[in-house]
């Protein structure tokens, strides 16, 4: 069974890859496989939601700690899903739910993140005093100063200079990251095509 | 191929099969025994083939040895007894053997009156020897049909096996006395008993003359020696002096009467062999014989003409003159070698100094205590007047023909035994040489005198008178016997054992090594040292034995150090042992620690939280409160004191140009790929661009999202930005699954992937606007779209602008795409959004409202970071300095 799954995955990958080079022969098969992948991905979202609900129900059934939150989550999920399925996302109450619950909650988490980052910056030199930590903090402060609006109007020349110099390093770093991501993506694809990695459970 | 026969049908099957091919019955028995089945008896002999080779060899050897033993046992004639099986037969046999040793049957049979006594005193003995003498008592006319030599060795063998016994000595004296008185008595021999006895005697005796048959008709010659014995006893008067002969000895005297020739001859054939001995009978009682001579007395046994002294001492070897032929006495030599130098039975009363001398060497060998009065083989000088001491052995005249080996064995040790530290030995030794003839004075000493080591007397052999000549000194005859039966003892044995055998001798002093310079301490072999009894070791090392008290009464009188002198209540009493566990302090401490550890395992431990955690929480709450307070005030005041720069960066400006160049009512695809957490920032950033687009182009907006929350966020954004209020048509295409594959599919076939898109191809969209808060989503759209452009499947895709509205965290990572031209324009962050909004006439105005709070917040963050970092740096240095000083 392991060999069959590996062979199937490898074959699909090779067909899609070769479909780019041979569109006349393999494009239809490629598009078919792509469609199947989209469908499977869409169903995976539903499976994930169902798994989430099952875990929370089990927690509630086993009377574990936080079981009440689990049942609340499941009820909320079912209610929202059903309401949105029937009334659509444009419904006012559904938007009220989004505006009053989802967005504020997630926004608050982001605010906590901001405070945590400031606190970490403050205590960085207490835990670790070295060149990199000092440099990190210095650059962070400089960029904050560069983009900080002032009542005196922005320091345009300074800001431009900072953004130009700092931007040069940032852009270089960003390119490096993107190249690394691209290479990693390419290597991962090749490993899957060669059967070395089997993320589908063949190992 | 071997075949197996089916146990059920009986048909032959190949060996390789387990089941019968005809009836399907298992061919091989199931070795496993199941419940309910009766076990089948197996022959363990079948398993012998699987035994290892070494085990087979052992088994074979055992079988062979068993067979040999059985053959040897079968070769030996068994004494048939009509007695019922007796479980104590072993004890009976032992006691009977002892009885036999003490009173042989052939000797007991000589005197009818004396024969019951030996039988009573000892266990029933085999009628081997007693019948011989019984025949003399019963009928003198019956010739000895049995071979003489067979009886003699038996008697000698029995004699050699005799142990000390006072009763036998008494009987011997009685026998001699009776023999002298009853010269006319006829020895009646029970032929049947004699025959049985001879048969047993023959089987027991392993002599060089095995071929002698009891059928030798030497009737007259067989009894001649008895006549000689009688004559000798009469001459020397030995029969009178030793009175402590046993009864059997008394019966033994009977054959010495002149009527001996008339006795039964059929059982005395063995005596003929005695007559063939070359040596003349030793004059042991009369002459001091050398210790080495052992067989001369046998010559006297062979002389028939000499009258037997009726008063011959039982100790004296009565010469047998019936032995005309002087045969080799090697059998006696062998007999003397094979048999242990057992102490002949002598009564203590009749023990004389000479007797003591005779067997003293045996005492030394056997560890007999007590220094010898005389050397073991000293030749006592017997006088006519004194009763010669009883001889232990009637064999041989040791004065002249004593072999060398016997001489060496019978030599008087120059040094006393190692255990004998008493100086009395030396004095006694001198006395022994001086008073050897006067040993008769000590004949009456009781056996109890043995306790005195200085006066220890060996017991003469009860048969000594039979084979000794009247002229021989009795002491010498006993010496001869002893010498004959003595085994050449090595020096180490003669020296070492007395040390252990004489613990009661009061060994308080070391051996007088200084008295004998020739005797050097010999290093005993290790195995001999291991054999040494502990008493010897203790005696040697106990230098403080002199401190031990001397016993004053009891059998241990005069001895020192026998019983450890431990008085009652002395300090040497063993200390009482406490039943409580004796544990040291260290052990107790360890036990307490272990108990504490075990007790701590069950008890919960309180979690110790350091103050560091509390300080962190305070700082966090402080920061949170500070920001909430300041920013809340700023927002509530709706202040706009922070000016906004009107200049846009290049990518912003390009985006603005692209939006302005849209044709009217163009289809624009807007991708919503941000999360609700950054919805506020994204709405603030994207609002001005979309507002400008709507104002300038009135496009048909299609919103699609690669996240499930996108659909809801579209509505929120359109509501917050006022787009819906502008009356713009838009389509919310919903969620596009599959990530990059979905994007690829939608780019290639939008109508197939999302039929609600209402476009045939992706190039129908005039512009693509991607609103994302993470670079991954922007990258995917850029890469998939560029791939289509490269393929040039749809050339219009090459002219389709791509606008990216990114958050401040995603803008730097998408900047390369902007630099490479893959992204037409990008607005990143609130600062650029504020500028774009400022250019757009401050519409919708979300960014401007956030601008002042944004500025104040950034300022506070910068100040807090700088101040806090410096404070943390200072405190950290101080703490490390303090740790360095402490460490």
CB contact under 8 A, A174 and B815: yes
CB contact under 8 A, A107 and B676: yes
| Neighboring chain B residues of A175 at a CB cutoff of 8 Å | 816
| Neighboring chain A residues of B619 at a CB cutoff of 8 Å | 119, 122
Is the pLDDT reported for residue B251 higher than 70? no
How far apart CA A26 and CA B665 sit, in angstroms, is 37
B positions 836-865 inside 8 Å of A (CB): 851-852, 854-855, 858-859, 861-862, 864-865
If asked whether residues A152 and A193 sit together in one domain, one would say yes
Per-residue pLDDT, B407: 64
CB contact under 8 A, B647 and A171: no
Closest CB from B712, B862, B870 relative to A144: B862
Token pair listed for B480: 């001869």
How far apart CA B520 and CA B504 sit, in angstroms, is 25
If asked whether residues A147 and A123 sit together in one domain, one would say no
| Residues B807, B773 contacting (CB under 8 angstroms) | yes
Given CA atoms B286, B290, B294, B298 in this order, what sign does their dihedral have? negative
Cis peptide before B844 (omega within 30 of 0): yes
Closest by Cα among B649, B455, B457, B419 to B535? B419
Whether residue A106 lies within 8 A of chain B, CB to CB, comes out as yes
User: How many helices (DSSP H) and strands (DSSP E) are in chain A?
Assistant: 7, 0
Closest CB from A95, A122, A154 relative to B868: A122
Confidence of residue B600 (pLDDT cuts 50, 70, 90): confident
Paired sense of beta strands B767-772 and B265-266, if any? unpaired
Per-residue pLDDT, B30: 58
- Between A and B, how many residue pairs show a Cβ–Cβ distance under 8 A? 171
- SS3 readout for B333-369: HHHHHHCCCCCCCCCCCCECHHHHHHHHHHHHHCCCC
Q: Which residues contact B638 (CB under 8 A, 6 or more apart)?
A: B849
CB contact under 8 A, A178 and B779: yes
pLDDT in tens, B712-733: 899 888 888 888 777 788 888 9
Chain centroid to CA B101: 45
| Residues B367, B450 contacting (CB under 8 angstroms) | no
Is the pLDDT reported for residue B380 higher than 70? no
Structural domain containing residue A106 = 88-127
How far apart CA B158 and CA B256 sit, in angstroms, is 20
CB contact under 8 A, A89 and B732: yes
Give the mean model confidence (pLDDT) for residues B309-335: 48
Give the mean model confidence (pLDDT) for residues B565-574: 62
Give the mean model confidence (pLDDT) for residues B769-786: 91
Mean pLDDT of chain B: 67
Of A108-122, B111-125, B753-767, the least confident: B111-125
Domain-ending residue, one of A34, A64, A87:
A87
Closest CB from A42, A89, A178 relative to B712: A89
Min distance B852 CA to chain A CA atoms (Å): 8
How far apart CA B166 and CA B248 sit, in angstroms, is 12
If asked whether residues A198 and A138 sit together in one domain, one would say yes
Planar angle of CA A46, A47, A52, nearest 5 degrees? 100
* Higher per-residue pLDDT: B135 or B780: B780
Whether residue B724 lies within 8 A of chain A, CB to CB, comes out as no
Is the pLDDT reported for residue B322 higher than 50? no
Whether residue A67 lies within 8 A of chain B, CB to CB, comes out as no
Per-residue pLDDT, B299: 58
Q: Which residue of B has its CA nearest to A21?
A: B791
| Neighboring chain A residues of B779 at a CB cutoff of 8 Å | 178, 181
What crossing angle do the helices spanning B829-839 and B846-886 adopt, rounded to 10°? 160
CB contact under 8 A, B872 and A124: yes
* Higher per-residue pLDDT: B3 or B361: B3
Paired sense of beta strands B700-705 and B730-735, if any? parallel
Q: Strand (E) positions, B226-281?
A: 265-266
A positions 146-185 inside 8 Å of B (CB): 147-154, 156, 167, 170-171, 173-175, 177-178, 181
Chain centroid to CA B829: 87
- Residue B868's alpha-carbon distances to A138, B101, B628, B786, in angstroms, are 13, 120, 19, 47
Give the mean model confidence (pLDDT) for residues B604-613: 63
Percent of chain B with pLDDT over 90: 12
| Neighboring chain B residues of A23 at a CB cutoff of 8 Å | 791
Q: Which residue of A has its CA nearest to B711?
A: A89
CB contact under 8 A, B876 and A125: yes
How far apart CA B93 and CA B81 sit, in angstroms, is 12
Q: Which residues contact B773 (CB under 8 A, 6 or more apart)?
A: B673, B674, B675, B678, B681, B682, B806, B807, B809, B810
Give the mean model confidence (pLDDT) for residues B483-506: 54
CB contact under 8 A, B716 and A103: yes
Is the pLDDT reported for residue B309 higher than 70? no
How far apart CA B6 and CA B524 sit, in angstroms, is 73
Confidence of residue B378 (pLDDT cuts 50, 70, 90): very low
| Residues B161, B133 contacting (CB under 8 angstroms) | no
Domain-ending residue, one of A71, A100, A127:
A127
When scoring B872, B874, B878, B879 by the number of chain A Cβ atoms within 10 A, the one with the most, hence best to mutate, is B872
Question: What 8-state DSSP symbol labels residue B843?
Answer: -
Whether residue A77 lies within 8 A of chain B, CB to CB, comes out as no
Confidence of residue B590 (pLDDT cuts 50, 70, 90): very high
B145: helix, coil or strand? strand
If asked whether residues A79 and A156 sit together in one domain, one would say no
Domain-ending residue, one of A98, A127, A156:
A127
Per-residue pLDDT, B673: 93
If asked whether residues A178 and A108 sit together in one domain, one would say no
| Residues B687, B840 contacting (CB under 8 angstroms) | no
Q: Which residues contact A161 (CB under 8 A, 6 or more apart)?
A: none
Residues in chain B: 887
Give the mean model confidence (pLDDT) for residues B155-180: 57
């005797």: which residue's tokens? B519
If asked whether residues A52 and A34 sit together in one domain, one would say yes
pLDDT in tens, A166-200: 778 888 888 999 999 999 999 998 998 888 888 77
CB contact under 8 A, A31 and B620: no
Token pair listed for B351: 């023990």
Confidence of residue B752 (pLDDT cuts 50, 70, 90): confident
Confidence of residue B213 (pLDDT cuts 50, 70, 90): very low
B positions 457-516 inside 8 Å of A (CB): none
Instruction: Tell me how many domains chain A contains.
Output: 3
| Residues B354, B469 contacting (CB under 8 angstroms) | no
Percent of chain B with pLDDT over 70: 45
Q: Which residue of B has its CA nearest to A125?
A: B873
B positions 364-393 inside 8 Å of A (CB): none
Q: What is the dihedral of CA B41, B44, B50, B53, to 10 degrees?
A: 170
Q: Which residue of A has its CA nearest to B857?
A: A148
| Neighboring chain B residues of A147 at a CB cutoff of 8 Å | 829, 831, 858
Q: Which residues pair with B170 in a beta bridge?
A: B245
Mean pLDDT of chain A: 87
Min distance B584 CA to chain A CA atoms (Å): 50
How far apart CA B204 and CA B75 sit, in angstroms, is 11
Per-residue pLDDT, B260: 44
Of B144-153, B218-227, B773-782, the least confident: B144-153
Of A93-97, B218-222, B241-245, the least confident: B241-245
B827: helix, coil or strand? strand
Whether residue A54 lies within 8 A of chain B, CB to CB, comes out as no
B277: helix, coil or strand? strand
If asked whether residues A1 and A51 sit together in one domain, one would say yes
Whether residue A85 lies within 8 A of chain B, CB to CB, comes out as no
Q: Which residue of B has its CA nearest to A175?
A: B816
| Residues B205, B146 contacting (CB under 8 angstroms) | no
Per-residue pLDDT, B743: 92
CB contact under 8 A, B876 and A141: no
| Neighboring chain B residues of A177 at a CB cutoff of 8 Å | 813
If asked whether residues A34 and A65 sit together in one domain, one would say yes
If asked whether residues A109 and A154 sit together in one domain, one would say no
Whether residue B213 lies within 8 A of chain A, CB to CB, comes out as no
Confidence of residue B704 (pLDDT cuts 50, 70, 90): very high
Is the pLDDT reported for residue B362 higher than 50? yes
Confidence of residue B881 (pLDDT cuts 50, 70, 90): confident
If asked whether residues A104 and A163 sit together in one domain, one would say no
ipTM passes above 0.85:
yes
If asked whether residues A186 and A170 sit together in one domain, one would say yes
Per-residue pLDDT, B769: 94
CB contact under 8 A, B742 and A41: yes
Confidence of residue B129 (pLDDT cuts 50, 70, 90): very low
Q: Which residues contact B58 (CB under 8 A, 6 or more apart)?
A: none
Q: Which residues pair with B509 in a beta bridge?
A: none
Confidence of residue B411 (pLDDT cuts 50, 70, 90): low
Token pair listed for B35: 């419940």
Whether residue A38 lies within 8 A of chain B, CB to CB, comes out as yes
pLDDT in tens, B510-562: 444 444 455 666 777 788 877 777 655 555 555 555 667 788 888 888 887 77
Min distance A170 CA to chain B CA atoms (Å): 7
Is the pLDDT reported for residue B38 higher than 70? yes
Q: Which residue of A has its CA nearest to B676?
A: A103
How far apart CA B353 and CA B372 sit, in angstroms, is 9
CB contact under 8 A, A107 and B679: yes
How far apart CA B345 and CA B363 sit, in angstroms, is 14
Closest by Cα among B663, B769, B667, B657 to B728? B667
How far apart CA B148 and CA A195 sit, in angstroms, is 112
Is the pLDDT reported for residue B292 higher than 50? no
pLDDT in tens, B14-37: 888 888 888 888 887 655 666 676
Q: Which residue of A has its CA nearest to B642?
A: A151
Whether residue B6 lies within 8 A of chain A, CB to CB, comes out as no
Whether residue B616 lies within 8 A of chain A, CB to CB, comes out as yes
Min distance B879 CA to chain A CA atoms (Å): 9
If asked whether residues A109 and A155 sit together in one domain, one would say no
Per-residue pLDDT, B887: 67
Confidence of residue B444 (pLDDT cuts 50, 70, 90): very low
Whether residue B831 lies within 8 A of chain A, CB to CB, comes out as yes
Token pair listed for B432: 């022994």
Is the pLDDT reported for residue B509 higher than 80? no
Closest CB from B741, B742, B872 relative to A126: B872
Q: What is the dihedral of CA A68, A69, A74, A79, to 10 degrees?
A: 100
CB contact under 8 A, B872 and A90: no
Give the mean model confidence (pLDDT) for residues B490-494: 63
pLDDT in tens, B635-648: 898 888 888 888 88
Is the pLDDT reported for residue B816 higher than 60? yes
- Residue B712's alpha-carbon distances to B255, B715, B807, in angstroms, are 148, 6, 19
């Amino acid at each position: 069974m392991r060999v069959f799954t590996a062979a199937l995955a490898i074959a699909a990958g090779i067909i899609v890859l070769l479909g780019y080079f041979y569109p006349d022969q393999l494009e239809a098969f490629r598009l078919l496989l792509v469609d199947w992948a989209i469908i499977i991905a869409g169903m995976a979202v539903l499976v994930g939601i169902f798994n989430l609900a099952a875990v929370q129900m089990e927690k509630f059934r086993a009377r574990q700690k936080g079981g009440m939150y689990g049942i609340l989550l499941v009820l909320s999920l079912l209610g929202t899903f059903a309401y949105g399925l029937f009334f659509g996302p444009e419904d006012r109450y559904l938007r009220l739910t989004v505006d009053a619950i989802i967005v504020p909650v997630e926004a608050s988490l982001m605010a906590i993140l901001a405070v945590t980052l400031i606190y970490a910056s403050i205590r960085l030199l207490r835990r670790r005093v070295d060149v990199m930590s000092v440099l990190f903090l210095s650059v962070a402060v400089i960029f904050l100063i560069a983009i900080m609006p002032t009542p005196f109007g922005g320091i345009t020349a300074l800001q431009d200079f900072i953004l130009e110099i700092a931007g040069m390093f940032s852009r270089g770093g960003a390119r490096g990251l993107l190249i690394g991501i691209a290479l990693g993506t390419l290597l991962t694809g090749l490993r899957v095509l060669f059967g070395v990695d089997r993320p589908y459970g063949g190992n | 191929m071997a075949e197996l026969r089916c146990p059920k049908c009986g048909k032959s099957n190949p060996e390789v099969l387990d089941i019968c091919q005809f009836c399907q019955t298992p061919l091989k028995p199931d070795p496993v025994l199941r419940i309910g089945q009766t076990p089948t008896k197996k022959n363990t002999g079948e398993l012998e083939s699987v035994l290892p080779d070494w085990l087979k060899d052992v088994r074979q050897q055992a079988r062979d040895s068993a067979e040999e033993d059985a053959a040897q046992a079968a070769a030996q004639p068994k004494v048939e007894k009509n007695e019922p099986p007796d479980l104590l037969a072993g004890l009976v046999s032992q006691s009977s053997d002892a009885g036999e040793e003490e009173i042989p049957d052939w000797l007991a049979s000589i005197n009818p009156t004396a024969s019951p006594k030996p039988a009573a005193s000892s266990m029933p003995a085999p009628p081997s020897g007693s019948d011989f003498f019984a025949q003399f008592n019963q009928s003198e006319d019956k010739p000895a049909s049995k071979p003489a030599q067979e009886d003699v060795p038996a008697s000698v063998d029995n004699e050699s096996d005799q142990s000390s016994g006072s009763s036998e000595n008494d009987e011997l004296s009685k026998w001699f006395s009776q023999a002298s008185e009853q010269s006319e008595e006829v020895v009646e021999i029970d032929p049947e008993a004699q025959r049985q006895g001879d048969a047993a005697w023959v089987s027991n005796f392993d002599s060089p003359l095995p071929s002698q048959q009891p059928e030798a008709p030497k009737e007259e010659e067989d009894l001649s020696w008895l006549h000689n014995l009688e004559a000798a006893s009469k001459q020397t008067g030995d029969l009178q002096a030793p009175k402590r002969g046993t009864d059997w000895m008394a019966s033994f005297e009977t054959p010495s009467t002149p009527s001996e020739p008339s006795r039964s001859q059929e059982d005395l054939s063995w005596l003929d062999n005695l007559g063939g001995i070359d040596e003349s009978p030793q004059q042991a009682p009369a002459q001091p014989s050398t210790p080495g001579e052992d067989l001369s007395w046998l010559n006297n046994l062979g002389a028939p003409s000499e009258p037997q002294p009726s008063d011959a001492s039982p100790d004296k070897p009565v010469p047998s003159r019936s032995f005309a032929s002087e045969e080799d006495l090697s059998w006696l030599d062998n007999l003397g070698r094979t048999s242990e130098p057992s102490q002949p039975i002598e009564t203590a009363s009749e023990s004389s100094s000479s007797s003591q001398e005779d067997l003293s060497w045996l005492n030394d060998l056997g560890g007999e205590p007590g220094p010898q009065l005389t050397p073991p083989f000293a030749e006592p000088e017997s006088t006519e007047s004194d009763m010669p001491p009883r001889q232990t052995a009637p064999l041989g005249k040791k004065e002249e023909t004593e072999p060398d080996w016997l001489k060496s064995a019978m030599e008087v040790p120059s040094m006393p035994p190692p255990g004998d530290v008493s100086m009395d030995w030396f004095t006694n030794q001198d006395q022994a040489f001086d008073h050897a003839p006067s040993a008769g004075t000590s004949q009456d000493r009781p056996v109890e005198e043995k306790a005195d080591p200085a006066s220890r007397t060996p017991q003469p052999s009860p048969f000594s008178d039979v084979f000794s000549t009247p002229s021989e000194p009795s002491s010498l005859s006993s010496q001869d016997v002893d010498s004959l039966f003595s085994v050449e003892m090595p020096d180490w044995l003669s020296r070492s054992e007395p040390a252990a055998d004489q613990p009661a001798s009061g060994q308080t002093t070391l051996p007088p090594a200084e008295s004998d310079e020739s005797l050097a301490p010999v290093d005993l072999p290790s195995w001999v040292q291991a054999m040494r009894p502990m008493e010897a070791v203790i005696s040697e090392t106990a230098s403080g034995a002199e401190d031990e008290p001397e016993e004053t009464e009891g059998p241990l009188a005069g001895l020192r150090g026998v019983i450890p002198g431990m008085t009652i209540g002395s300090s040497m009493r063993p200390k009482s042992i406490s039943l409580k566990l004796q544990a040291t302090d260290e052990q107790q401490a360890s036990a307490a620690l272990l108990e504490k550890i075990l007790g701590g395992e069950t008890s919960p431990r309180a979690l110790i939280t350091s103050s560091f955690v509390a300080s962190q929480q305070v700082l966090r709450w402080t920061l949170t409160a500070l920001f909430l307070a300041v920013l809340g005030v700023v927002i509530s005041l709706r202040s706009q004191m922070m000016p906004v720069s009107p200049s846009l960066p290049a990518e912003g400006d390009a985006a603005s140009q692209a939006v302005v160049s849209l044709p009217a009512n163009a289809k624009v695809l807007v991708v919503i790929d941000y999360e609700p957490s950054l919805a506020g920032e994204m709405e603030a950033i994207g609002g001005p661009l979309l507002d400008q687009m709507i104002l300038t182009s009135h496009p048909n907006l299609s919103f699609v999202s690669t996240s499930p929350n996108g659909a809801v966020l579209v509505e929120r954004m359109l509501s917050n930005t006022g787009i819906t209020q502008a009356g713009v048509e838009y389509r919310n295409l919903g969620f596009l699954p599959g990530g990059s594959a979905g994007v690829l599919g939608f780019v290639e076939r939008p109508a197939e992937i999302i039929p609600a898109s209402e476009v045939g191809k992706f190039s129908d969209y005039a512009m693509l606007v991607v609103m994302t808060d993470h670079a991954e989503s922007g990258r995917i759209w850029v890469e998939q779209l560029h791939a289509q452009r490269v393929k040039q499947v749809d050339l219009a895709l090459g002219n389709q602008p791509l606008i990216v509205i990114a958050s401040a965290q995603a803008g730097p990572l998408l900047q390369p795409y902007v630099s490479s031209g893959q992204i037409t324009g990008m607005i990143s962050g609130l600062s650029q959004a504020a500028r774009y909004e400022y250019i757009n006439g401050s519409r919708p105005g979300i960014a401007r409202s956030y601008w002042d709070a944004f500025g104040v917040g950034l300022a506070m963050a910068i100040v807090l970071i700088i101040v806090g970092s410096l404070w943390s740096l200072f405190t950290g240095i101080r703490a490390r300095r303090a740790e360095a000083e402490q460490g």
